Structure 1
Amino acid sequence: MEEVELSAVVAFGMEAIVVRELRALGYEQAFVEDGRVRFRGDLSAICRANLWLRCAERVQVVVGEFQARNFDDLFDNVKELPWEKWLPVDAKFPVDARCVRSEIRSVPNTQKMVKRAIVERLRKTHSRHWFAETGIEYVIEAHLLGDRALLTIDTTGDGLHKRGYRRFMGAAPLRETVAAALVKLSYWGRDRLLVDPFCGSGTIPIEAALIGKNIAPGRNRHFSAQDWPQIPQALWAAAHQEARDLEDRRSFAMPIIGTDRDREAVKTSKMNARLAGVETDIHFERKDFVEFPTNRDFGVLICNPPYGERMGDEDEVRQLHHDMGELLASLDTWSLYILTASERFEREFGKRADRRRKLFNARIPCTYYQYLGPKPPGMAAAGGEEADSENGQESPDSD
């Protein structure tokens, strides 16, 4: 089967996680560059990457890459690319553009120039002068970084964070891709207790359950490339069958727990978990954080507490961090993972993190504070380096 070059678009801080995800799928030659991970595979890779990538934003086909210092360079090189390989004669092909540190600065003019060049190419290859664009949509992106231009076609459609289960959202939702990253960057394993005391819409517990049961995050949604005639439906069917075969249907040793003081948030979490097919694996409960202390040892806390840029008063957030530090201080066998936009978190929490990692939740810059805790006795795979291999997790970095 023909090999194609692909690009997984990745948010800042997620690159190494996505490399590991791709290598776990068998795509060993995966490399990071400028907000994306490049890799190669046959047409089935388009299906499998879309179904399985938990922390990428989208998957694109790379049509070509070249040097472009001006619009003449851009037009001439775009026209030389094999667009007829991907675009049927009736294809609808809108063009998006991004210009970063490039001599070509106008996004609208870049879009027009790329569109004109593609039409010029298709006129020759399809022997037509006019294109109705009434068929399947192929979204083209021209990404100009410095004097390099990268031309891609999106295969995903709605971003990969849209799994299809979160039809109900709270006031400040955490992206599913970010929630999955928080779990993958922790030392949680399916035999350890996991608690999110600020569960909101339930995204962190749900993503943890999907990871723990090896459920493909894209199994219940549609992707743009499913409509493409270039990709046989048999490949999509095989990818979905593979996903079903690889699901781990065993119950967790302990249920994942999500709590929130908001009654509607707990109700929303339960509905989302049901839509995700993991409602029996998660226990949601209405509970204020001050009720959090537990007599269980070696648990894992992963949370995204409220922070002032999205909700809550700044003084309330400061007090919350102080209360968290006091209430969690006694849990000396626990591993704590806390994502927040607050730059004062460690000072207000009262303890310096073992590791920190910069991440973005949508466009909000955040820090993931990691308090690693000791390994559970006799459970090395759930509390140390072995967990990274088992769950496809990345050992967290310090900043």
Structure 2
Amino acid sequence: MAERLLDILGFTASAVLMLLPIPLVIATRPPTALRVLIFALQLQLANWGNKTFTLEDTFITYSLGCLYYGWPLFTAIHFYFLTDPLTDGTRHIYDTKPAKDMSLPQRIWWATCLVASFRGVGWNKPVPHLRQIPKGQSRTSYLVEHFLWLVFYFVVNDLVNLYITHNPITSSRAAERFPAWSQGPIFQALNSYAYWGNIWSGFNIQYELLAMAGVALGLWEPQLWPPMFGSFWDAYTVRRTWGRVWHCILRRFIISHGKWVANAIGAVPGTKASSYAQLYTAFIVSGLMHEVGDRQLNRSFGQSMSFFILQALWITFEDGIIGLGKRLGIKESRATRALGGLTTFVWFAATSPVLMKVMSDNGKPIAPSFPVSPIGAAWKALGLEEKQVIPWPEPHY
């Protein structure tokens, strides 16, 4: 395999080229043959960039592979072949006329805003289950509240990064490629939730900074910047965790692909056949998008996909258990939600290492999100650096 280029500018430039055609296609709606040709060129560019670029940090290389190449490809399929926003009634809340009646420059800008709105916030077709900002909340109140949330996300991010950068299997002994389960079940759970906590807090930090800047400058109303993720109070089944808490930024094209597949196999809307066709399509699409990240790290096909297929299989089983409980007369209550939340917690602790192995197999330490750790610096300043040492267990394969 040819040596990869350590080039963040080239990496990012290729991603920009991936995205540029999408608003133009939406705004002009060329013939199908031309849309197929444009998509084929994007696919070729993604294939080239996916096997050409790398970065020093394993986690960022994986994440940007998914974001720079996987996300644009499925977004392109959504807008090129599965929907036509110019004719299907798609509108922004500030639109004064249908997009098809706008001038070409206006349509291109309109389409650019549509693509940039991953979740459809501010549009008449938002993805389902988004949390809402109260209609009466002022800019000042929003900024104060979300500044406090931003501080909280920074603290969470700092804590999980301290854990990751001090755990031998993700730092000093990363070259030995120990999987997340190699330190026993307790540390497997800690490793799993440190991984998800790093993603969750990192995305939220970036999102809150953008939201606060946009609201403070008067560019957007607070209501156009609802929380990025759903509430963890909804995470009492694996289905709800993915559908209401986590998958929000992918749901636009996940839903359209799922509905297309269900329709293609003749499943009647509202039936179990349609529901499960959409469920499995959703996780296959998500798996394929994450497989792009695998390939960015030179991993063989199937590692990320295995994790996402496991989620669909468990949800199928979970639905059966819930259905059985209903037939036995068991009603949803605080007790059932608590049991479901515990089961969901254990499930992700058990299966997350399958996905995390993509990165541990790369054999490089996970770099911290920020160059300085405020908590680590304070701990050191108080002379406590050597006073509290986590008894890391000896890892084993």
What is the TM-score normalised by the length of structure 1? 0.28
Higher relative contact order (CA 8 A, sep 6+): 2
Structure with the largest fraction of helix? 2
TM-score by length of 2: 0.28
Q: Higher strand proportion, which one?
A: 1
